[in-house]
C-alpha cells in the first residue's frame, strides 16, 4: 500500500501580520467603496500572520508580469532543494530512489517544468517521470497525493516525490480593488512544501482509496483572469457555501471504504478560509477540534494554496499521537469547483534503510 510520509515545509522569512495587512490595505485602497467590507472580511479570516517571499515594500510594487515570473523561477530554485532534501530524509530515501516527481504551483509558470531543473540539478535519475500540475489551484495538493497513489498502484514499489511551490504574494495586484482581490490580499501566504509517497515501507498515511469530484457548473467561481500584469484572482461570493454539496461526497468516499466519515481519527482539510472549515465540520458532524491542524495552518501561515494539506499533515506528524491503523481523510478544494480526496490508515514502519543503490 502506498504510504504518504512526513512532509517538509518551509516558509520565507518575511512576515506580515493581520495588523500590517489592514494598515497597508487602508493606505493602498483608501477611499474605495469596497474597502470597509474588505477590511471586515480580512479580520474574519482568522489569519494572524503570513510569510512572503519579498519584503512588503517590494511586494506592494508591481514590476510587471515578466519580472515577477523571473522572481518565481529564482525563488523556487532557491527554496526547493532544501525542502526536497528534508522530505527525502523523512522518507528514508535518496534522490535516485524517486521514480516520479509531481510539481504543483498556481503562482508562476515555467516551461520546461521545474521538474526538469530538479532532475538535472538534485541528483534524480534521468528516467524519472515528470508530472507538473499547474491549474488546479488549492486542490492541487490533494490531486498530487492522489496521482502519486495512482502511480504507485500502477507501478508497484515505485516512489513519488511531491513538490508544492506556492508564492502567492507574487500575484498581488495593487490596482485591483474588487472584493475578491482585496480579500485574497489578506488571506494568501507563501510556502514551499514536499513529501514522498513510498510504494512500500515508510511511516505515515497508507493511501487506500481516492476520489475526485467537480461541482457542476461552478467552473467560473474560482479563477484567474490572465492579463498583461499577470494573474488576477477572481472569487465568486458563492464559494464559501460549497461545503454543503461536497460534504456528502466525502461521506460517500468513506462509506464506500466501510468507514463513517464522522468517526475517523484524523482529518487533513484544505484551509481555504474559516467558513470552509466551519461548514465542513458542521455538515460532517465532526468536532471542529478535529480540524485543528488545518486551523493552525490558516492562523499561522494563511491560505498557502496547494501546500495547505502538506503543512497540516506535517503538524499531525509532529503531534505524534497517531497509533497504528488510525483512520483518516485528506481533502483539497480548488477551482472547478474541484475536490480531491483520499482516505487511509496510519502505518508505522520499523526503522530501516531501503534506498536502492544505483
Q: Considering only the top CATH level, what class is 3-198?
A: alpha beta
DSSP alpha helices (H): ranges in 235-291? 243-256, 274-284
Quick check: 347 pLDDT over 90?
yes
Close Cβ partners of 221 (under 8 Å, ≥ 6 residues apart): 235, 236, 238, 239, 242, 335, 337
Burial of 158 (0-12, 13-18, 19+ CB in 10 A): buried
Indicate yes or no: pTM above 0.75. yes
Catalytic residue among 5, 106, 138, 165: 138
Concatenated DSSP letters of 1-31: --EE---EEE--SEEEEHHHHHHHHHHHTTT
Query: Which cell goes with 34?
Result: 469596497
**DSSP H helix total and E strand total for the chain:** 11, 14
Cβ–Cβ under 8 Å, residues 198 and 162: no
Per-residue pLDDT band for 357 (boundaries 50, 70, 90) equals very low
| Domain definitions of the chain by residue range | 3-198, 205-344
Q: Which of 19-28, 99-108, 321-330 has the lowest mean pLDDT?
A: 19-28
Mean pLDDT of 192-206: 97
Calculate mean pLDDT across residues 214-234. 91
pLDDT over threshold 60, residue 354: no
Query: What is the secondary structure of 91-109 as a DSSP string?
Result: TT--GGG--EEEEE-SS--
Over residues 301-319, the pLDDT tens digits come to 999 999 999 999 999 999 9
Task: Please report the pLDDT score of residue 356 as a whole number.
Answer: 44
76-105 CB burial, b ≥16 within 10 A, e <16 = beebbeebbbbbbebbbbbbebbbbbbbbb
Tell me which H or E stretch contains 234: strand 230-235
In sequence order, the β-bridge partners of residue 213 are 339
Name residue 163's beta-bridge partners: 103, 194
| Strand, helix or coil for residue 261 | helix
Catalytic residue status for 138 = yes
The pLDDT of residue 262 is 97
Q: What pLDDT, on the 0 to 100 scale, is given for residue 350? A: 56
pLDDT tens for 63-108 read 999 999 999 999 999 999 999 999 999 999 999 999 999 999 999 9
Per-residue confidence band for 47, with pLDDT thresholds at 50, 70 and 90: very high
Instruction: Compute the mean pLDDT over every residue in the chain, rounded to the nearest whole number.
Output: 93
The Cα–Cα gap between 48 and 53 comes to 17
What integer is the mean pLDDT of 49-74? Answer: 94
H/E run at residue 183? helix 179-185
Q: Is the bond into 28 cis (omega within 30 degrees of 0)?
A: no
Structure-block grid coordinates of residue 15: 512576515
Residue 210: pLDDT over 50: yes
In the chain, the percentage of residues whose pLDDT exceeds 70 is: 97
Say yes or no to pLDDT of 351 above 80. no
Give the domain 205-344 fold: Peroxisomal Thiolase; Chain A, domain 1 (3.40.47)
- Listed in order, strand segments (DSSP E) in 306-351 are 327-334, 338-347
What pLDDT is attached to residue 136?
94
Amino acid at each position: 500500500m502506498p504510504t504518504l510520509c512526513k512532509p517538509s515545509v518551509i516558509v520565507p522569512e518575511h512576515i506580515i501580520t493581520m495588523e500590517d495587512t489592514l494598515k497597508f490595505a487602508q493606505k493602498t485602497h483608501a477611499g474605495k467603496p469596497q474597502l470597509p467590507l474588505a477590511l471586515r472580511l480580512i479580520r474574519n479570516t482568522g489569519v494572524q500572520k503570513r510569510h512572503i517571499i519579498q519584503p512588503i515594500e517590494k511586494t506592494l510594487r508591481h514590476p510587471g508580469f515578466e519580472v515577477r515570473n523571473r522572481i518565481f523561477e529564482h525563488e523556487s530554485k532557491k527554496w526547493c532543494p532544501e525542502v526536497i532534501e528534508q522530505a527525502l530524509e523523512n522518507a528514508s530515501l535518496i534522490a535516485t530512489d524517486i521514480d516520479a516527481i509531481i510539481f504543483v504551483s498556481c503562482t508562476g509558470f515555467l516551461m520546461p517544468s521545474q521538474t526538469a531543473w530538479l532532475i538535472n540539478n538534485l541528483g534524480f535519475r534521468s528516467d524519472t517521470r515528470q508530472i507538473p500540475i499547474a491549474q488546479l489551484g488549492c486542490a492541487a495538493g490533494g490531486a498530487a497525493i492522489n496521482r502519486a497513489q495512482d502511480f504507485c498502484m500502477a507501478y508497484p514499489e515505485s516512489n513519488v516525490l511531491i513538490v508544492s511551490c506556492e508564492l502567492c504574494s507574487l500575484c498581488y495586484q495593487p490596482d485591483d480593488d474588487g472584493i475578491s482581490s482585496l480579500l485574497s490580499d489578506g488571506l494568501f501566504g507563501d510556502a514551499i512544501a514536499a513529501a514522498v509517497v513510498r510504494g512500500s515501507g515508510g511511516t505515515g498515511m497508507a493511501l487506500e482509496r481516492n476520489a475526485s469530484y467537480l461541482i457542476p457548473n461552478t467552473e467560473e467561481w474560482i479563477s484567474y483572469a490572465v492579463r498583461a500584469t499577470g494573474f488576477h484572482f477572481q472569487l465568486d461570493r458563492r464559494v464559501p457555501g460549497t461545503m454543503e454539496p461536497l460534504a456528502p461526497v466525502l461521506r460517500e468516499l468513506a462509506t464506500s471504504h466501510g468507514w463513517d466519515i464522522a468517526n475517523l481519527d484524523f482529518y487533513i482539510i484544505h484551509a481555504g478560509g474559516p467558513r470552509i472549515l466551519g461548514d465542513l465540520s458542521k455538515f460532517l458532524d465532526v468536532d471542529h477540534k478535529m480540524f485543528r491542524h488545518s486551523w493552525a495552518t490558516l492562523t499561522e501561515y494563511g491560505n498557502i494554496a496547494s501546500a495547505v494539506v502538506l503543512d497540516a499533515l506535517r503538524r499531525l506528524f509532529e503531534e505524534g499521537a497517531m497509533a497504528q491503523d488510525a483512520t483518516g481523510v485528506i481533502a483539497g478544494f480548488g477551482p472547478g469547483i474541484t475536490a480531491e480526496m483520499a482516505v487511509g490508515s496510519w502505518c508505522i514502519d520499523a526503522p530501516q534503510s531501503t534506498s536502492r543503490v544505483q
